[in-house]
Amino acid sequence: MTDDPLAYFMTWTCYGTWLPGDDRGWTKWRKGEHIPQPLLADWCLRQMVEKPVVLDETRRAIVQETIARHCEVRGWHLHAVNCRSNHCHAVVTAVSHDGEQVRDQLKSWSTRELKKYQRSADGGKAKLREHWWTRKGSVRHVFDEDSLEAAILYTREAQEAGGSKANQ
């Protein structure tokens, strides 16, 4: 195994759709997975400054197209992308780039395009949403071809079949 990954398997959630303490369990940055904590989830819900984001088909397409375009401009190889109503997965090879940097650029450019769409859709009348995504997200380093194929397959197909639990 080399130090440089073949790709990054990235996942991030939409703002307010999977809060710390969530009934489904949750992941704390650099601290791993945690069991549900209803009091924490309630507190986090009260701290939200905007409503949760649920992406419709149009906004999902905007995110996917933006990710594809940004990867092309940067010379990164996009293996797969799947933007769902409450989260997004992307598998990208970005030589000489840190996975967190890649994830953050994809989120940032998607936010710009979503805001542009919001301005055009409402004629610039409504206040632009500031929070589209949760902070951070998952970046898994993929080091071998089998893992790369599994990440691509999961991104493309497992989401439609109900996620990894449907395959157990």
Domain 7-17+55-117+132-167 has CATH 3.10.129.10: no
Domain boundary assignment for the chain: 7-17+55-117+132-167
pLDDT of residue 34: 66
| Main-chain dihedrals φ then ψ at residue 67, nearest 5 degrees | -60, -45
Structure tokens at 3: 């130090």
Quick check: 90 and 105 in contact, CB under 8 A?
no
| pTM of the predicted structure, to 2 decimals | 0.85
* Number of C-beta neighbours around residue 37 at 10 A: 17
Quick check: 36 and 22 in contact, CB under 8 A?
yes
The closest of 14, 168, 27 to 89, measured between CA atoms, is 14
Q: Per residue of the chain (168 residues), what is the pLDDT tens digit?
A: 457 899 999 999 999 898 777 777 666 666 667 677 788 878 878 888 999 999 999 999 999 999 999 999 999 999 999 999 999 999 999 998 999 999 999 999 999 999 999 999 877 677 889 999 998 899 999 999 999 999 999 999 976 655 544 332
